[in-house]
Chain A
Amino acid sequence: MEATTLGIVIKAIIILAIISAVAGFGTYLERKVLAFMQRRLGPMHVGPYGLMQILADGIKLFTKEDIIPQNANRLIFALAPAITAATAFIALSAVPVFPDFTIPSWIPLLGGTFVPSVAADINIGILFVLGMMAAGLYGPLLAGMAQANKWGIIGAARTAIQFLSYEVVTGLSILAPIMIVGSLSLVDFNSYSSEHAWLMFTQPVAFVLFLIGGFAETNRTPFDLLEHEAEVVSGYATEYSGMRWGMFFIGEYANMITISVLTAVVFMGGYNDMLFLPGWLAIILKIAFVFFLMLWVRASWPHVRPDQLMWLCWKVLMPIAVINVVITGIVIMV
């Protein structure tokens, strides 16, 4: 069925609403999972099992005083969190989050509207997503530079080197799957894996490199150098408070979801039905697993030094990615 404007708008609203909510819920999950892994209970007091904690946090973030430092560039300072949040959600627009569906006809007004799996099924989906995420670099970078704080500057510098470097790894690692599938559209990836084996098995090296790059790009442990408390206080977010800081937060979690969805779609068979599982459930479980993996890694591993980070990127991961591309090319040719 052809995607109508209404359907795309609905999809966009769903993504915005649900992903923001899920991003918030993600913080709850993160705290809970980390707590359990450390034999703690985590948030327990707001609502049953602390489920309403995000609500409390939200209220807190909304009602906190909004501070802009005296010497900050006020415009850029105010703009930077919006860039992070916006790029994160824009990136999601090209990602198939759910299978296509039609709103049941008994619902008034919207009944019978077709909602596509991807808000914008552009044929260069992956490129768009990666590009948008790369553009997200501007958020932390500008934030760090605008706030007139040395920790912010350091955070911004780290942002620049880390995001730019690992953009290379992510791009090169995903090149091999693209070569196999022969398309940049994520829908095509999904279709490919409905007929072939999951790409994580045929392209394990690319899968691992993509995960590592994804961790780095979403600023997750072990690559959370941008705002590592022990070193740079809070990095680019040092001077931010209230909802401005909350937007960075949402952006970060939206990015985590984006990476999770990309991984699930590209490497883990997408939203195809799986054995007895319907496709929508299968993709949710896959996304959830990748998300969980991020938390799990955070609970387990220490983070790396900036020099190790660079060394790892340029001397190890990038060459491997190139080699992987070359070998894949050779295999396809043969």
Chain B
Amino acid sequence: MSDAKAVENLITITIDGKEYKTKEGEYILNAARANDVFIPAICYLTRCSPTLACRLCLVEADGKQVYACNSKVKEGLEIVTQTPNILEERRAIMEVYDVNHPLQCGVCDKSGECELQNYTLELGVDSQSYMIPDTKRETANWSSVLHYDAGLCIVCERCTTVCKDMIGDSALTTVKRGGAELDKAYKDTMPKDAYAMWNKLQKSVIAPSNGTGYTNCSDCGECIAVCPVGALSSRDFVYKSNAWELKRIPAVSAHSSDGFQIYYEVKPTSIEDRSEKIYRVTNEWNYVSLDGSARFAYDFENRDAIKDQKAFIQAIEAFKKAKTIRFNSVITNEEALMLQTLKEKMGLKLYNPEVRAFQKFLAHYAEASGQSLYSTDADAIMKKSDFVISVGMALRNDSPGLKYAFNNVQKMNKGAGLYFHPVGDTLIPSFGKSVECFIHKAGMEEAALYLILDLFADKEKLPEEVKIYINSFKRINKETIKEKVMKEVVETVIDEETGESKEVKKKVPEMVEKEIEVEQNGLVELLGKESSVFADTFAKMMSKKEAFSLMVGEDFYYHPKAENLAKLVALIEKASAVNVVIAPPKSNALGVALICDLDDEAEGYTIGYNENGDFKLSALGEGDLDMPAMNQQEGTLTNMSKRVVPTNAALAYGGYELNDLVRELIGAPKETIDWTVKLPISKGFKAVEFDTLSNGYTNDGVENRGYLLDILIKETQMPKVEKFNEADALEGEIAYRCNPARQFSDFTDKAHEIFEPFALYASRAKAESLGEKAEVVFENGSIVLDVIADDKILGDIVKVPDFKSAQNVYELFGGSRYKNVTIRKV
């Protein structure tokens, strides 16, 4: 559909005498790149706003010099990428960049993939015409992962741009460098743009925007990825390896459900140990932005696993007497299919509390909406949407991809956003001026959806009873408000010099009480906002908005009334122009939900796959039988974008795989990836061989990875939704099951560059009241945790992480994400 639309909008432009087709409203630079025409540019980032820091992308459009990164194409535009003047400017710019840039390419980590090196060569800089005294610029560590070498920085501002426009943390900014003033003589002698660029460059340097020297951000490392030079790097990677020694292995991030495309970069561990090790993770940063777990949680492999025959025989026996297999979402589609086949052939139960709730929710949604899957995804939201709503998830923690989309819409699409969540967040309001946060009571998610229906639904399409129900919340209130009125008063003033008295007319403000009629929306009140104020803000937010998106998350799946929520979501989608994305909780949850028939309860002898059980298969290295970790196996994952994406083995694995067990038990093909073609077509999968799946992006940013799931559509009635009960709102002390950003599972926890501990996360005020350690008492048990203050949390709800499967947090919370608890100081 979108493709057909794009074809309609194609226009013709001419670049260097050749005609090209491109989309209307595209920047010249992007249009050129999509057509494989090279225009040099350092500071521009696709999907982010142009910064105009480098000025290299200077081109001539219809005879006028413009910057290709911020001027848009129009029909018949004639672009010349090189004129003598432009070449002179570009060369001068590169010379300026090279002024005082330390000649330490020999040791620099970026050498070999450095854009400064590349452009210096590309533009033929073989001599230096400019000079200025250097300023001492110190290296600094900004966080547990960020290392900044100011000396190497060329202040292209890509890091600040990506942090602001994509990540949303806005943790970096440019500050004064305190460098020497430019010689005024240069102003007349050197090219204009180069001078302007230099003038700015000489004055600025990058620093954390909170002024502390520490970024206190989500440590996603995207700034490292976009840095064109060696200024920003991972603390762990500094001076470890040259870029050219690393072998890139295209893969998929194994932790969040975003399924980001990544490259594992591997090289032998050391001179003695020639087995390969992952040194870092890189990405196509123009087209995909990673979260911290994707970038830094890479060394979770199951090292030194061997084919332990005894354990294998034990495993076979365990399978034979087992009643249940317990697993989580960190498995490939192929493995999920194997487990499903085991279930069918051996009558085992499949127990996966993590995915089961999501699967049920998805089923309810599908039944209500007639669509087997939700309609949009993070990428589509960023490209098209200008109004995003997030309900039922801790956006920052649960789904980094949706967080980026939420933020990007505000920054790039002049968008607006609504965020409903019981746990207050300080970061999300900072995404944009038009972001409204509802900190509602836990349990009031249905009210939020009803409000969305009220705000966005086409009232004509709504069923009558829903309309009545929504209207039942609205009241016309007579309110007395104080209004300022200018009143004219006559005063007698005596002139001091003359002694004459004079009458002067003067306007004086006066408060007058006035009674007005206000429409009050009980839903807004219920969700914790002033209804009259919100009405005005919402009106402003709605102006010029066309494309709406709704993100719903894990809170819904664990909601006591999940079915009703699913129907409401379906109703919203049917009755309004809002597109919906239902975020799978973790990793391959969507794939597991589609492939496996999960059971609600575990019973009898249980085999745990990366989970607790009587017999443990584990890729974490502590089970009864070793299994390959996600970076050691081939296979496909189903990500949030409903895409089946291939991942490859980056590291060697010496032990048994699940396929070996399945072959021994019921017979199986030779390789795990031979299962790829067998993925259930009835669920939207395609019978495609693994080896034919691609994993990359084309030059114009088209995601060319794997294949999209087919969405099966059947006609349905408008869903029947239930009313909600205000009494369901949770009161008192509440714990929320939520992982810190960058932590998703035991695998992220195993990685050495992930530092977020398994602890109780609370707002600063709450944390101070709790002290250093606290015991959280649930109905069915308790857990003792360190208390960590998170400045980005507001309110009294505490977050209890679940990423350690051994801690059994899922059991404690049962079928809900919010629980009334007693928290005791320890």
Q: Do chains A and B touch in the complex (CB under 8 A)?
A: no
Chain B interface (Cβ < 8 Å from any Cβ of A): none
